Amino acid sequence: MGGGRTMGGEGGRRWEGEVRPWGRKQHLKPQQSLAFVFRSIVLPSPVSSAPPMEKLKSAIPQTLNLSISQSNPHTLPHTCSSLHDFLNQLPQFHQMVEDLSHMETSLFLKTKKSALEFKLKGNNCFSNGDNSNALRFYTQALRAAPRDANDMGKNLVATLYVNRSAVLQKMGLVVECLQDCNRALAISRSYSKAWYRRGKANISMGNYDDAVRDLKVSLCMEQSLSGKRQIEGELKLILDHHNGKDFPSDVAKYKESDIHDQPQQIQLQCVSTEMKGRGMVSLTDVPQATLLHTEEPYAAIVSKHCRETHCHFCFNELPADIVPCPSCSLALYCSQLCQIHAIGQQLQCDMKNHEFGVDLSSDLEKYVGSVTNASVDGVHVEQIGEHKHECGVNWPAALPTELVLAGRVIVKSIAQRRSFGESSRIVNLELCHNYVQLGPEAKLELHISSIILLQCLHHCYGSDVPLNGETISQCVLLLSQINVNSMAIVRMRSSDSTGPPSSARNHTTNTVEQVRVGQAIYLAGSLFNHSCQPNIHTYFPSRTLYIRTTEFVVAGHPLELSYGPQVGQWSCKERQLSLKEQYAFVCSCTSCSRLNLSDLVINSFRCLNPNCSGVVLDSSVVNYEKQKVNPFRCGLPLQVGKLEHDEVKRVASLLCTETGSAHQIEPGFCLSCGAYRDLETSNAEIRKAEICIGRWEDSLDSVEVPSNILSNALRSLDLLKSKLHPYNKKVAEVEDYLAQAFCSIGELQRAGHYCQSSIKILEKIYGDDNIVIGNELVKLASIQLPLGDPAVEQTINRINSIFSRHYGSHLSIMFPHLQFLKRSL
């Protein structure tokens, strides 16, 4: 279950496993093309006057358009150079580049004026006891404040950190409060208020030795008499309670050492395959749940919709004490360490203010040094600096994510090229790409996007990013590499991580959702091919890629993840179409090339013969299934090993007989007994049932589900069951919705019944140990718990076993809700 390659919405190689949240249908989303993204660029004034991409496109002469549409990697330098020459003559193109890359037009520059406005709002909220808004405004002020701005003789950023620390303390967030004090002190060591507030935070945390030292330093720094008296009072109160304890450090938030699991010594090898290009295998047998591979991204970027909620470096959720970029108002980090990773330490050190002005005892002097240097000097930071070149200009916010990611790749390549003394190319990742398979529209968009991106980078890097046919064509190919190789960094989110509902009425079940928080390029990770029935699983506790086997894999067998589509999630036809559309390849994985039971039943009809459990297929399925090799006839093992239920075998009994039979895979005819079903009539009735169910699904979001709608839905389910095969996925989906509806009206017994029925079908089409089943079992456990159903123990054990297989020792980091479920037993 791949994290997800490429650009676009759900369904691509961007979700690590299918998750079916209650009440939401999973639809195939068409790929979001660059055209779409560009059309949707909304640059707030004053940049909104930038000419839309469509205008640029329509200005391009027909002949140039034609040669671009016919271009290939060899002719790219020529077409790129011609388009560049053409665009260079257009005033609106220059205007667009100027709006995107010039600091003067930037919407993300810091200004003291707006910082002071936010500060004032924060102060007002704080005085009125409105802590959450005070927190919000101080954070806004910090985003807006230039790092060298002064406010009433003090550094404005330091003042804002101290103000925010006061709010955090009031909110009981003492660790965050202490961290903000540290940040203020890293800027201004002689800031008495910051030492005082730090002392208070240390008192709350029971760190009395530190609290006393903080207050002593604060006392030395304090100018006013009233202030001195207040600090003396506080010191007096705590001097009797010495009990030195360490406080948690700000830098502890992103520590590689938090993750104990190390990849085992499995030797992986990149091999060439006939159908899929390069691929990865292991040289030895690999047991299930083995951590095979970990890798840092070559470049990574936060998703647009997570910019305000997730750290732009490690992609974890932002805490209350957000650390903004010191140079622009766009980037946000969860800690100073992540900030340094993203922009480099240089900027921090500039801020250091070594003057002190007061004589301290050597003991206190040492203490001050340890506090004010800790956050920047105390840890080894690999300075990636991937955001540095994006600071204070519009293009990183205005251009599509994959284009900004390409910018990060190019900048890193340039830095590497410099250190290796190379100069001929701006980028060469040696990854596969899909340029030749792209349509005319997509090729044109890649040309224009590359020219715009390189213009923006050229503005910052000058001759290091030359603008010519060669460099633009390298960028075009890079974008088509990002198309097929980038992975989505996803996080599992549980809808209820706090606890069970207090009453059965209006119960909402717990669901697990995946959030796409970022997009990244992993060089070795890009060499793993796709299988619709993968044997490895990828996940991202931070921005590091982890790959683990989900089953025993013999030496030399391909190690393959899913780029999105999976057996059980979609039929073979849907998977093939999706992979073709998004990655431009015809999937030749085992599930797409050999008959398997899941693909036969997932969209099938019931046999008319009441004593037969055979499947009836429609023509679109038949066309795909007919092209597959029949493993049953060839004596090959079943590919969906976990589907060896007798009853499922019976539905395809024809296929299981090695001798063959008179029956063929033909639309409308039962594969088992050959009985004919009129699919046109069946489909008409199914459509009626679906309309009724659709109406009912729409009502699920309302507070009360009308009872007549529920009884209609139950009737529709009966109708579907009379036409569709018992393992048709539609039946599972309707039962899942019914479980949700019964939950919402407090009928948990019935909810549990439908939830279980749905899971039984999904087990047949996905296999018992698929992560999807684990996610469905989380819903079931959240129904069984309030019912006091003893079966919940077994459910939770199964969840544990499925998720351990996928996340190994990272299970508690990836899915903290499981701890809660276990405690509830």
Ligand X SMILES: C[S@@+](CC[C@H](N)C(=O)[O-])C[C@H]1O[C@@H](n2cnc3c(N)ncnc32)[C@H](O)[C@@H]1O
User: Could you list the residues that contact ligand X (CB under 6 A)?
Assistant: 275-279, 432, 434, 484-485, 526-527, 529-531, 583, 585, 587-589
Provide, rounded to whole angstroms, the least separation between the CB of residue 525 and ligand X: 8
310 vs 530 by CB, closer to ligand X:
530
17 vs 774 by CB, closer to ligand X:
17
Contact 799, 813 (CB under 8 A): no
530 vs 729 by CB, closer to ligand X:
530
Please measure the distance between the N-terminal and C-terminal CA atoms of the chain and give it in whole angstroms: 30
DSSP E strands, 566-700: 605-606, 615-616
Provide, rounded to whole angstroms, the least separation between the CB of residue 3 and ligand X: 12
Provide, rounded to whole angstroms, the least separation between the CB of residue 271 and ligand X: 10
82 vs 531 by CB, closer to ligand X:
531
Provide, rounded to whole angstroms, the least separation between the CB of residue 486 and ligand X: 9
Count of C-beta atoms within a 10 Å radius of residue 257: 6
18 vs 776 by CB, closer to ligand X:
18
Provide, rounded to whole angstroms, the least separation between the CB of residue 531 and ligand X: 6
Provide, rounded to whole angstroms, the least separation between the CB of residue 449 and ligand X: 20
Provide, rounded to whole angstroms, the least separation between the CB of residue 5 and ligand X: 6
- Please give the distance of CA 508 from its chain centroid, rounded to a whole number: 25
- What's the DSSP call for residue 286? B
Provide, rounded to whole angstroms, the least separation between the CB of residue 535 and ligand X: 13
- Please give the distance of CA 309 from its chain centroid, rounded to a whole number: 12
434 vs 699 by CB, closer to ligand X:
434
56 vs 268 by CB, closer to ligand X:
268
486 vs 630 by CB, closer to ligand X:
486
Pick the closest to residue 568 from 755, 761, 774, 725 (CA basis).
761
Provide, rounded to whole angstroms, the least separation between the CB of residue 589 and ligand X: 4
- What's the DSSP call for residue 157? H
Please give the structure tokens belonging to residue 283. Answer: 């040289």
216 vs 530 by CB, closer to ligand X:
530
d(CA 122, CA 115): 10
335 vs 480 by CB, closer to ligand X:
480
Provide, rounded to whole angstroms, the least separation between the CB of residue 300 and ligand X: 16
Residue 588 DSSP SS3 = coil
- What's the DSSP call for residue 306? G
d(CA 214, CA 178): 11
Full DSSP string of 442-505: HHHHHHHHHHHHHHHHHHHHGGGS--SHHHHHHHHHHHHHHHHH-EEEEEEEES--S---SSST
411 vs 431 by CB, closer to ligand X:
431
Burial of 357 from C-beta contacts in 10 A (0-12 / 13-18 / 19+): exposed
Which residue(s) pair with 281 in the sheet? 269, 558
Count of C-beta atoms within a 10 Å radius of residue 670: 25
| Cis peptide bond upstream of 46, omega within 30 | yes
Ramachandran assignment for 6, one of left (phi > 0), alpha (psi -120 to 50 degrees), beta (any other): left
Provide, rounded to whole angstroms, the least separation between the CB of residue 640 and ligand X: 17
22 vs 563 by CB, closer to ligand X:
563
Containing H/E element for 780? Answer: helix 771-787
Please give the structure tokens belonging to residue 206. Answer: 């029971």
Provide, rounded to whole angstroms, the least separation between the CB of residue 33 and ligand X: 17
Contact 700, 23 (CB under 8 A): yes
d(CA 93, CA 99): 10
d(CA 213, CA 242): 11
Q: Please work out, in degrees rounded to the nearest 5, the angle formed at the alpha carbon of residue 562 by the alpha carbons of 445 and 739.
A: 105
Contact 160, 119 (CB under 8 A): yes
Closest residue to ligand X, based on beta-carbon distance: 277
151 vs 296 by CB, closer to ligand X:
296
Provide, rounded to whole angstroms, the least separation between the CB of residue 433 and ligand X: 8
d(CA 480, CA 34): 11
Provide, rounded to whole angstroms, the least separation between the CB of residue 498 and ligand X: 39
Contact 537, 803 (CB under 8 A): no
Provide, rounded to whole angstroms, the least separation between the CB of residue 487 and ligand X: 9
Please give the structure tokens belonging to residue 729. Answer: 């996925």
Question: What radius of gyration, in Å, describes the C-alpha atoms of the chain?
Answer: 30
CA atoms within 13 A on the CB side of 451: 26
293 vs 606 by CB, closer to ligand X:
293
529 vs 784 by CB, closer to ligand X:
529
Which residue(s) pair with 536 in the sheet? 549
Provide, rounded to whole angstroms, the least separation between the CB of residue 143 and ligand X: 37
Residues 6+ apart with CB under 8 A from 694: none
Contact 164, 135 (CB under 8 A): yes
d(CA 420, CA 646): 62
368 vs 527 by CB, closer to ligand X:
527
